[in-house]
Amino acid sequence: MRFKRHIELEHGLRQIDIAPLVDVIFQLLIFFMLTSSFIVPSGIRVNLPKAVTSQMVKSKSLEIVVSGENVIYIEGRVVNIQELKPILKELQTRDQPLLIKADRRARLGRVVEIWDMARNLGLSQVNIATYQE
């Protein structure tokens, strides 16, 4: 005795319902779009000042970042002026250039203080990062 249900399976389904598949794909798309927007890029945001006559620095240099709130960062960690002096002395022995990335809202006095400290310690290559137009 054959039942009607088995006959349909033997002859195959006439139409496949893809609505649930589309729903799942759409939910996965929304999930990945939302989770990818929560990933925050690492680093410190600095709005560099604009300069017309800037040049590219090709050598590997130590970056000192001065934020808009006049906080000094070296390699992502906060340092103060007293901690900066031994780091610059070590940099002078390695003969490595220094790159100062200062936010355009940072105090000029803070940048000049770092520059002056580096020059007093004998660093010959001190550069300031700018945004080229």
SS (H, E, C) 2-46: CCHHHHHHHHCCCCCCCHHHHHHHHHHHHHHHHHHCCCCCCCCCC
In whole angstroms, how far apart are CA 75 and each of 6, 36, 114, 124?
Answer: 70, 26, 16, 21
Regarding whether 58 and 29 lie in a shared domain, the answer is no
Query: Is 44 part of any domain?
Result: no
Report yes or no on whether pTM surpasses 0.75: no
Query: Is 41 part of any domain?
Result: no
Query: Is 43 part of any domain?
Result: no
How many CB atoms neighbour CB 89 within 10 A?
13
Residues in a beta bridge with 73: 65, 78
The residue to which tokens 């496949």 are assigned: 16
Regarding whether 12 and 61 lie in a shared domain, the answer is no
Regarding whether 113 and 85 lie in a shared domain, the answer is yes
Structural domain total, the chain: 2
Q: Is the pLDDT of residue 23 over 90?
A: yes
- How much is the pLDDT for 128? 80
Regarding whether 127 and 80 lie in a shared domain, the answer is yes
Query: Is 106 part of any domain?
Result: yes
Regarding whether 21 and 59 lie in a shared domain, the answer is no
- How much is the pLDDT for 47? 63
Of the candidate ranges 4-8, 71-75, 93-97, 119-123, the one whose mean pLDDT is the lowest:
4-8
Query: Is 71 buried (19+), middle (13-18) or exposed (0-12) by CB count in 10 A?
Result: middle
- How much is the pLDDT for 3? 57
What does pLDDT average to over the chain?
Answer: 78
Regarding whether 93 and 62 lie in a shared domain, the answer is yes
Q: What is the mean pLDDT of residues 39-60?
A: 63
Q: Is the pLDDT of residue 104 over 70?
A: yes
- How much is the pLDDT for 90? 83
Which range marks the domain in which residue 18 is found? 4-36
